[in-house]
Amino acid sequence: MEIIRPATPETPAPDDTLTIGLAQIAPVWLDREATLAKVLQAVTEAADQGCHLVAFGEALVPGYPVWIERTDGARFNDPKQKAIYARYLDQGVVIERGDLDPLCALAAERQIAIYLGIMERAPDRGSHSLYCSLIYIAADGQIASIHRKLHPTYEERLAWASGDGHGLRVHDLGPFRVGGLNCYENWLPLARAALYGQGESLHVSVWPGGLHNTQDLPVFIAKESRSYVAAVSGLLRVSDLPEHTLARDEIAEFGGEVISNGGTTLVAPDGTVLVEPVVDREALVVAEIDAGRVREERQNLDLMGHYSRPDVLALHVNRTRQRAVRFED
């Protein structure tokens, strides 16, 4: 996999640095095990490059539901749509089953934290709906948060269920406090504020892949939050669709080889683009970031500190895991 390293203009204090990896890879579409094998390989490569954190795109395991807009996905009670959804559900990640155990073991072995986008098949919600979940695995191998996307975007609502606020959490990692959101959640001011209010200084936004999503918003979020912002995208090409894929020809006929072109990028706390969006190829961006730059930029704007007015404006966040049934025995 191609390694991309931005230039480091200054030498920060050693205690202020964190090396991060942004892995733009494609899934083996709708194949959980094969895609997780690629993730394990990318984590190993990031660890070999000295990364303390590696992040992957939205819904990477087992892939984004690109079939919906390409196969008349809104047709009600359609046998084809039912069949594709059933395959998608079958390939969903069941955390309780141990699907992520090898990844957790690798994180602990290599002492590297991981942000990974999955389609979660959740037993606590009956096991037949999928949640677009962003998983944070700490460097000790423990799953520290599972953030289910608050609300699927547009056609995603035909395949994904709505999540909750349980995973709106940040995590201490070296001199940084890292948090993350899925795709269009990054447009939600209150979702961002929920992370800012916990002291976030490195924001990880994950995307299914698309330059149109990452060329503007990460710069805005960086300027707003005065944090580093990593936008990590997936990639999808026709060649990533296995030959046995249902409706493969119909999905492929809409354009060229590239279905989702990536767009992974990294932005500094002042809005400077450190890594221009990477498109049309798999790559691992490896960057050393400096917590001192966050402190500098908070001097004139600190949204949850000196530039806040909680007596006038305040946010209430419900982090209860939502369940349809609660039993008392």
The catalytic site residues sit at 58, 149, 183
Nearest CA to 178 among 132, 216, 139, 217?
139
Place of tokens 């699927």: 152
3-state secondary structure the chain: CEEECCCCCCCCCHHHEEEEEEEECCCCCCCHHHHHHHHHHHHHHHHHCCCCEEECCCCCECCCCCHHHHCCCCCCCCHHHHHHHHHHHHCCECHHHCCCHHHHHHHHHHCCEEEEEEEEECHHHCCCCEEEEEEEECCCCCEEEEEECCCCCHHHHHCECCCCCCCCCCEEECCEEEEEEEHHHHHCHHHHHHHHCCCCCEEEEEECCCHHHHCCHHHHHHHHHCCEEEEEECCEEHHHCCCCCCCHHHHHCCCCCEEECEEEEEECCCCCEEEEEEECCCEEEEEEEEHHHHHHHCCCCCCCCCCCCCCCCCCCCCCCCCCCCCCCC
The CA distance from 266 to 312, in Å, is 34
26, 283 contact by CB (below 8 A): no
The CA distance from 13 to 155, in Å, is 46
